[in-house]
Amino acid sequence: MGIALEVGKTYRTANGGTVTIEHDKGDDTYPFFGKIVGMEGMEGMEGVADRLAYFTAVGSYSLAGATAFDIQAVVVNRNELFLSAIDSKAKALILESIAAHYGITAQEAHAEVTDNQAEHLLDYMVEPQRSATSVLMQRHGMIIAA
């Protein structure tokens, strides 16, 4: 694999799920902890729910060999992941509120919040849309801490 995991980053797993690394417990074997989500309905994952997991420093789920839960070397933009998980009306409302706040178009707002260097989506928002979006994120199992 050869990747270096980072706390707070979101990655794709080999089976197509996503995992956000929540903390580094400092263990030599499995230092990184996160929750794997988004596996429902995937071929070979029938009956597998979201799972809490520990990973090696390079993203391996198991030292015994490759698994469907291994982390791939792809960092996922959490904002883009969230915006793709919600309906088009909610997505439009969020992007329009950001656009109005910054005096830009909704398309420019989308480009900004899905950029690889983007801040957490909530950092671009003001009340009351910020709180409403936070609740929607929680309903979709997204981690709110930036």
Helices (H), 45-87: 78-85
Q: Rounded to the nearest 5 degrees, what angle is found at the Cα of 56, between the Cα atoms of 51 and 62?
A: 60
What confidence tens digit (pLDDT) does each residue in 45-55 have?
A: 556 678 899 99
Read off the pLDDT of each residue in 76-105 and give the average, rounded to a whole number: 93
Stretch among 45-49, 106-110, 120-124 having the lowest mean pLDDT = 45-49
Q: pTM score, two decimals?
A: 0.57
pLDDT at 96: 97
**From CA 49, how far away is CA 64, in angstroms rounded?**
22
Note the pLDDT of residue 98: 98
Q: Parse the chain into domains and list their residue ranges.
A: 10-76, 78-139
Q: What is the pLDDT of residues 29-43, one digit of tens each?
A: 999 999 888 766 556
Burial class (CB in 10 A: 0-12, 13-18, 19+), 26: exposed
Q: Give how far the C-alpha of residue 117 lies from the chain's centroid of Cα atoms, to the nearest Å.
A: 14
For residues 17 and 47, is the Cβ–Cβ distance under 8 A?
A: no
Residue 74 scores a pLDDT above 50: yes
Q: State the chain's mean pLDDT as an integer.
A: 86
**CA-to-CA distance for 36 and 111, rounded, in angstroms?**
26
